[in-house]
Amino acid sequence: MQQNDRAGLLYTMAGFILLSCGDAVIKSMAGLWAPTAIATLRYALGAAGLSAILLARQGPGAFHMPRPGLQLLRGLSVTMATVMFFSAIFLMPLAETATITFVSPMITALLAPIFLGEKAKPATFIASLAAFAGVALVLRPNLAELGWPAFLPLGCALGMSILFMANRAAAGLASPLAMQAYIAIAATPMLVAATAIGHVSGIESLHVGTPDWSVLARCAIVACSATGAHWLIYMGTMKAGAATVAPMTYVQLIVAVTLGWVFFDERPDLVSALGGAIIVAAGLYLWREGRVKEPAMTD
């Protein structure tokens, strides 16, 4: 393995581990504050920090967003995914929530021919059927216990799929730092609106009261860890290439299972574990088929 590939894999693995650690911190706040408010504060802090760095490095001109409608779509997709994921991990085991969100690559592959004009491949349909069979197995106990809220992770996966497609459409429009700042800036007011709607909705879990200082501190930790994680993943992708580091995303699932087991006493049953294994296998199959179809690179 080349040195750049090894470094890229390590950077990416560290990024995904950090993301799962942030998810565990979010879950530790279950019942302490509304998930919408937590999501809003996390992105508001991220937007402030990224904006300060962007201003220092690239100046005021960097804030002129190219294709603002597309940036708003990116912000909307993140709003949807974040609110649903934060709400889900308050109600469901961390590992099972994370497992279901891993169907997002399959959803992206199904929607890309419609919205991006990409060619549909047989492997997409095979992987998708397998992945959704795995989702059914993972959802089984949660659907019986929770009802419709058990589908929140699927909503998160759909939001992430929309983000993936929007990112493809926005590729090369600005620097990676600017693109990361734009998404936080666009998402923050949408999250504020979602928080306000939840507060007046009458749903007790969405009522926004006065949080303990520890909740604010944990939101700040997640804002910093998530920003650092995305930077590590970006660096890993730049060093080794997206196709090489893609399987590292499943490290996030392993860490989520471990953290859920150790800190929240959440032990997935055998059927849920089988469903998770099917989802991972489907994702790896789709990744492998994509690599096989790519033309060989020449020096």
What tokens appear for 90 in the block?
Answer: 């308050």
In this predicted structure, the answer to whether residue 293 has a pLDDT above a threshold of 60 is no
Q: What is the mean pLDDT of residues 186-193?
A: 97
Residue 208's pLDDT is 95
Q: What is the pTM of this model?
A: 0.86
In this predicted structure, the answer to whether residue 159 has a pLDDT above a threshold of 80 is yes
Residue 243's pLDDT is 67
Q: What is the mean pLDDT of residues 117-143?
A: 84
Kind and range of the H or E run holding 220:
helix 213-240
pLDDT, tens digit, 9 for 90 and up, residues 252-264: 888 998 999 999 9
Residue 297's pLDDT is 36
Q: What is the mean pLDDT of residues 126-149?
A: 84
**25-29, 38-42, 123-127, 207-211: lowest mean pLDDT where?**
123-127
Residue 112's pLDDT is 85
Place of tokens 């060989």: 296
Cα(277)–Cα(127) distance, rounded to whole angstroms?
13
- Ranked by mean pLDDT, the top range of 34-43, 102-111, 112-121, 263-272 is 34-43
Q: Which 3 state secondary structure label does DSSP give 243?
A: helix
In this predicted structure, the answer to whether residue 294 has a pLDDT above a threshold of 60 is no
Instruction: Give the phi and the psi of residue 266 in degrees, each rounded to 5.
Output: -105, 110
E strands in 58-123: none
**40-44, 114-118, 127-131, 203-207: lowest mean pLDDT where?**
114-118
Q: Would you put residue 186 in left (φ > 0), alpha (ψ -120 to 50) or beta? A: alpha
In this predicted structure, the answer to whether residue 109 has a pLDDT above a threshold of 60 is yes
**71-85, 114-128, 234-248: lowest mean pLDDT where?**
234-248
Instruction: Give the phi and the psi of residue 103 in degrees, each rounded to 5.
Output: -80, -5
Residue 216's pLDDT is 95
